[in-house]
Structure formats: structure tokens, C-alpha cells
A and B are shown apart, each in its own frame.
Chain A
Amino acid sequence: MSTSLQEGIALTLVALAALVLVSRAFRKLLAEPLARWLLARGKVKWAMRIYPKFRPGLRKNSGTETDCCG
């Protein structure tokens, strides 16, 4: 494998990792308060979009996520 190909794959992986980290941090820390804020301002659709737990009738996701650490 050439160095430039390696570099391309490596940087893609890094970008993916960074993306996943940011989205995890958002979901874990910011999504709920932000969705509450949006709800309070009447923007229900947006609130439901960023925080699916607010979606009515969706039982699959009702607080059953297991990742207590991280």
C-alpha cells in the first residue's frame, strides 16, 4: 500500500472518528436541554428531530440505552 493511499485512509478514519465523537457528545450532553428549550419555544418539530425521545409513540427508544459509561 502506498504511503499516500495509507494517508488518505488514515485521514478519512480520523475525520469519521471526530464526527462520531462530536455527534455522541451532542446527543449525550446537549440534545436534551436544547430540545427542551425548543419545546418551550413551541418548535415541537425541531425538538423531536434533535431528540427522538420526545417523539410520541416511539417505544423502541424509550430510555433503554445501556451506555451508562461514556
Chain B
Amino acid sequence: MKAPISKLGQLRKGQGGRIVAIEAVAHHEELAQRLMEMGLLEGCSVEVIHEAPFGRDPIAVRVRGALVALRRNEADQITVELDSGRKGA
């Protein structure tokens, strides 16, 4: 069974998985690199730890031992293979 794939921006609190791709959208090449420098890299596991009040945006994710805040819009550039064992919040 293949693990479900999702955009990081679609995940709810408590969900997580392994980053499989970071899309460098044409004008967002710069952003993709920033994401990588903050440790959001392919192969790393990532989990949504917090959602801000007012529309659950931005989110805070745990990645490479750090807690990183980003908006869902930006998080959508990151594709995640969901952990099968974990359930949404």
C-alpha cells in the first residue's frame, strides 16, 4: 500500500510525514531555498505542532530538531508522504 501524499499546507495539527519534494514554483525559487536552509529538506520528517488562532494559519512545524513557523500558502510548496500510523488531530 502506498503512503498517502499531501501538501504540507493541507495538514492539520498533529499530522506529519516525510518530505518528498520541494517545488520551486517559478517566482518562488528563492522561497524554496529559504525553506531548505531552515531545514525543510527532502527526506526529513516533519510534523505540524501548532496552528495559529484565526483561520489556523500560520502553522508551526517540527523539522530537523527545530520549530519553524510558516504560512500554509508557503507550506503548500512542500509535498509530504504522510505517516500511515498517525491520525489527524
**A–B direct touch, CB within 8 Å, in complex?**
no
- Residues on A lying within 8 angstroms of B by beta carbon are none
